[in-house]
Structure 1
């Protein structure tokens, strides 16, 4: 690895560089220059800002097509492609005032189109907007996106649910590489901190064509924060306080860039006490502490762009076992507890050729997970090490057809060193090859692709056959062919239609193949099945969007059929007072969707009303309901935007009412859930005091201290409510 890095950062930098430049002026419709417009070339990780005359300049650009985006608050984003860059290039831009959100470039899909040109509907949300909602964790923020929910254990552990599918059926990407951290366990969180993350993209549906196994239900794709603009130095410090958990979150970031080199580092620390429910009692041992460190170095010239990033995340998590017992605001975790250490190293490269390019992403993920019952000696200790690679070659464009071919793979080892085993020592190898093409004419886009994958899993024998904690050795190989077909068209100038049909797959995970014991938190004895087959699904998605200057409306519908859906079923036997459950398979279906609108009445330019409704139903072939299906939700927000003289800019105030309905469609092992309404308030903006400026936001979540139990809470079986009222105060200083 060291030799490869030296070659990329030193050897290739000696190659002949083209001295191509791009410059221009950004103005408004009145021909007035706009200062502070962000001009960004995502492929080069290079950005700049317009000066007081609206002028910008880029240098050391490649001899090929290049995408540039121009963004400024209050104006519509302009995304331009410069074809066949010459030695000197000029591009002047006129920005128009805009009311609705910017049209973002979507990174998680194959061709990196802006959303209005994208065949697949992808939800894009900036982390800044999620943080403005006052959520305590990254997964809490994600759960506010229509179609996304979470399986939670208190406030510290949350797992994403996309349209009723979770665990290994949802793939998570960060820094351009897939995250592997024992996703099979409901008590295993994401292991990601929202500091140092720019935005998230959510693919709601099978994405196996691009990502292989485990993308059967969808993808969460986290984009890291951008480097500083060329020839600048930036530092910022943020601090948050959470009243409910007496918690705090601190983050310090530093970054600087030259024309070619880029550097950044960010450290964060979160600490929380046990959370309070509506009557004021605290749920014992839901406290947790998190340390996060991110750093990156990048280099780009006319021939290639390369970015090396590293993320260290350490979690000290209390496991609630006694319900509401000791009442304390201590942040020192008690027993039982988890200690989780995540290391993520990524190397993202783009090699530019005259009419084509090669994307090469390499990743290494080390997940070290320990569980402590009553002492500092871990009874469970698992180490998961994963190396993955992803190479995509963008062929020269043929007329209006863009084509990508690629290979992906993964080598993964799981080892145990504790006295207890949840899953055996194992080795997993993935290999996939795919091709996809995009054909665009007028306002129409047609996209299709095909892929083949193989996954091989081998495990070691452990213990005495027939006894708890013993595993038989297995050697399994799984193959899968998948395809996708999508069409996007503008039915009118304001109405867009998207129709997608795609297949996905998921190979059985180690827990489903090998389990032989009581899985922590389930209170049941689980028995794996080494004869399980690959889950295979086909999903149809329909998206309609209507947009005018003052009104947006969307409706998403989906139908998802899954063959060989894997789930647990009771056998009727009991071992050590625990009911025995086998892993079995059956065909299943999920269907539902999301609908919403955003209304901005003219001439009340400061007022916005947003509403959305989401629903999903999951059923087995015999008509029984699937487990862990989120309840229907109706979300309403009134938002105002304002400026107060010269001391508060980009001001906002929000009133949100989130209505969750009864969930009566439950599997045989779940309990029904009652509906509830939560009221949330938010206020903030950029405060200017002389030469000092900082962002501030104040949020009141669950303002009326509602006592409720979410259907997907893992504490529901013990009758423990979710978090009560929480006042959040956050400040962010650009130093």
Structure 2
């Protein structure tokens, strides 16, 4: 390891000597098609963090640039973005001419210059969405907002919580990254949502396919990479007030942000408060196995919740040095559907729950997620740098419910234990992480090397048991290179080594159970989990090629990914109250190995754009839960027993899109997705995988005009018709899901109240109040339909100003 670090440092010093340190200035003027100045236009150079705005005469200046090739971008409301590549080797001046916006409502593939460049360089399918996209498609959670993207779905836990699914893979097979740090919580649980404030997310990159090479174990299905605001013009301040409302669960949300930057120092603060009630569904009852549970006024009782979030970031931005620190705390409290928790739907106090649709009684969960993260970059040119990241996060999840004895539990809870009788389960997870990355670029060659390490300590508490306490260590390192061949081709390849160790603790019941043999009956505290100490290691690799022609672009990538088993898969031994199952781990599981080939083709000409991204994925030993004919009698009311097993799995599918610009203001389009999975071995040979999404397509049309009235700009109207096929390819205990069609409409624009801009977006989701089921929904198992008609409104009031230089 010491030799590896010395090599990186020596290479960095060598590149530093080659590159020099002379600083240059780029200055110029931003004008429109009639040579009139555009004051307040934003000008930036990438890579790096140099951003400024044009003055009242349209002039700008960017200082402290070093000899290198830069991407220069300029943007101004109502005008097309400008992009050019400049090689800076002395002081330069230029004139940037912007044209009035050429309308493009392409919602799935966001037409932003950075997004286009990323797609051309990335060998895997990638979608990049902006904050405006998130506003216009706001759902109950961040993942519900993103599921409009082809190949992206969400496992929904009610109307306010969800977790990501990419091409049918979710849970610990998809990594979520926030501001450069991997998000770690209790993501193994189907009832555990994603602790992320969607108001604090500026843009999202969704990369589909195996990314273990760059992100390590668990990136076997893809990555959701979320970023807060990155660039702040010098000597400015600003912020926004965001207000949201939704009718399906009487949602009220408020988020306020404030930022400021002097020449090199900046700070950013955001506070968010959310409050929502029980959400409504287009039915008056649900069937929970053999019991029909009536719903009062169509409300899914006890699904209300609250959320309070705080974010603070600060840092220093200089030409050769950049450091950013992020602190955040997410706190949520939300109820579980009272009729679906455990197997006591007959014992629910409906009168208490139905008295108010905005309170949360038992059962509910209380979650707090704290993060602190620092990313520091030392650079000697814009694209030659060393970056370090250090982070800590703590996830505390408490699940509360009224004490009910099962099996040999005492009828009266003893007061001699160290936890409350109503604390069903508690998890306390601390994660320490760090990484270092070296990036080098010379001419058309790019080289990246990195190492990362993570330590997890997860404690448990409460009267219920499903997984033991555990500690986990993961260390990895990678080398990745990219070669640009001519002006059209990019060749890339990399290799990675990972080592992981997981240690679970033994666990005994807090109450005794009888053990009977031929002569003696005695009571003992049964052992539910044994001490496990497993080590895993693997080599991952990837190779890709991109070809970018005038109208066509092609890409291909093949790679191997790796995922080590988690504590639940190795050592679970308890009731999952939310899934009506008793789950048993397997301490002898091998790590998952996946091989995947991705290809893609895109065509753009005049008003037409189209593309397809097929993939083939093969698992040598996919880990899954297998239902059996056994039933547990000691810890529940006869829950079906599931065992973790492994099998070979073949998966293939594709995402497709076509968009056509009928008129300058009108665009129509079509997107589709398809995933097929089949187990090739094991007791479920021939079956698919759990939560496999059915084929679906989206027909959309949009109208956008630069100026609708004197005080309304960038006004738009959109119409989406979503068609989902039946899902009859299931694995027990899943039930087939019928197909459905849903109609959504949206409208919005930028309003001006005097000099104050106000951004407004309005949606009506499920316009026809259609009763339908989502095959990947958490509540689909008990036949709960998706929310009915939902009117969503979002208002953003931005503000900004100049800080006088001293």
Task: Name the SS for the 1:367 alignment partner.
Answer: strand
Whether 2:135 is the aligned partner of 1:90: answer no
Secondary structure, counterpart of 1:105 in structure 2:
helix
Map 1:32-47; keep pairs closer than 5 Å: 32-41=36-45, 44-47=48-51
- CA deviations 1:648-692 (Å, max 9, x no partner) are 011111111111111111012210001111111111111113223
CA shift for structure 1 position 633: 1.1
Between the aligned partners of 2:615 and 2:527, the Cα distance in structure 1 is 41
Out of 347, 367, 390, the position equivalent to 1:362 is 390
Q: Residue 486 of structure 1 corresponds to which residue in structure 2?
A: 544
Distance 1:62 1:467, change over 3 A: farther
Q: 1:419 to 1:66 in 2, by over 3 A?
A: farther
Task: Return the match for 1:632 from 671, 689, 695.
Answer: 695
TM-score (norm 2): 0.84
Distance 1:672 1:261, change over 3 A: same
Pairing 1:597–2:625 present: no
SS of the residue corresponding to residue 486 of structure 1 reads: strand
Aligned mates of 1:371, 1:59 — CA distance in 2: 54
**Worse-superposed segment, 641-650 or 178-187:** 641-650
RMSD between aligned residues: 2.3
Superposition pairs of residues 410-449 of structure 1, within 5 angstroms: 410-441=454-485, 442-449=487-494
| Partner residue of 1:523 out of 580, 583, 589 | 580
Matched-pair contact (CA < 8 Å) for 2:102–2:664: no
Q: Where do 5+ consecutive residues of structure 1 fail to align?
A: 1-15, 107-111
Unaligned runs of 5+ in 2: 1-19, 105-109, 284-296, 404-419, 514-523, 800-806
CA distance in structure 1 between the aligned counterparts of 2:756 and 2:546, rounded to whole angstroms: 47
> Are residues 139 and 500 of structure 1, via their aligned partners in 2, closer, same or farther at CA, if it must alter by over 3 Å?
same
Residues 1:572 and 2:629 are matched in the alignment:
yes
Deviations 1:430-487 (A, max 9, x none): 1111111111122011111111101111122221699767211111111111111111
SS at match of 2:462: coil
- Alpha-carbon displacement from aligned partner over 1:369-406 (angstroms, at most 9, x marks no partner): 11001288533111111111221111342x42111111
Query: Mean Cα displacement is larger for which, 655-664 or 507-516?
Result: 655-664
Tell me the equivalent position of 2:227: 223
CA gap of 1:125–1:609, structure 2 versus 1, over 3 A, is same
Partner of 1:732: 796
Q: 1:533 aligns with which of 565, 590, 594?
A: 590
Relative to structure 1, the CA distance from residue 396 to residue 546 in structure 2 (aligned partners, 3 Å threshold; closer, same or farther) is closer
TM-score, structure 1 length as denominator?
A: 0.92
Cα distance in 2 between the residues matched to 1:600 and 1:220: 30
Instruction: Establish whether residue 259 from structure 1 lines up as the match of residue 268 from structure 2.
Output: no
- Secondary structure class of the residue paired with 1:277: coil
User: Of residues 676, 683, 687 in structure 2, which corresponds to 1:617?
Assistant: 676
Return the alpha-carbon distance in structure 1 between the equivalents of residues 401 and 724 of structure 2. 36
Q: Does the C-alpha gap of structure 1 residues 91 and 412 become closer, same or farther in structure 2, counting only changes over 3 Å?
A: farther
Check 1:170–1:456 CA distance in 2 against 1; reply closer, same or farther (3 A cut): same
* Paired position in structure 2 for 1:306: 323
SS at match of 1:546: strand
Alignment of 1:558-707 (within 5 A): 558-576=615-633, 577-601=638-662, 604-621=663-680, 622-642=685-705, 643-707=707-771
Which structure's CA Rg is the greater one?
Answer: 2
After alignment, is 520-529 or 58-67 more displaced? Answer: 58-67
The 2-side partners of 1:440 and 1:209 are apart by 20
CA contact (8 A) 2:627 2:733 kept: no
The 1:17–1:235 alpha-carbon spacing in structure 2 relative to 1, beyond 3 Å, is farther
Alpha-carbon distance between aligned partners in 1 of 2:435 and 2:177, rounded to the nearest angstrom: 12
How many equivalent pairs are there?
710
Q: CA deviation at 1:18?
A: 7.0
Note the alpha carbon deviations across 1:479-517, whole angstroms, 9 max, x for none: 111111111113x41111111112111100110000011
| Aligned-partner Cα distance in 2 for 1:705–1:237 | 31
Pick from 423, 443, 450: which aligns with 1:378? 423
The answer to whether the 8 Å contact 2:212/2:218 transfers is yes
CA 1:282–1:328 in structure 2 vs 1: closer, same or farther (change >3 Å)?
farther
282-291 vs 45-54, which deviates more?
45-54
1:150 equivalent among 128, 135, 154:
154
| 8 A contact 1:175–1:224 mirrored in 2 | yes
Corresponding residue for residue 17 of structure 2: none
Q: Residues of 2 paired with 1:394 and 1:506: CA distance?
A: 26
Q: Residue 249 of structure 2 contacts residue 278 of structure 2 at CA under 8 Å; is this kept in 1? A: yes
Are 1:509 and 2:566 an aligned pair?
yes
1:268 Cα offset (Å): 0.6
Query: Judging changes above 3 Å, is the alpha-carbon distance between structure 1 residues 104 and 532 closer, same or farther for their aligned structure 2 residues?
Result: farther
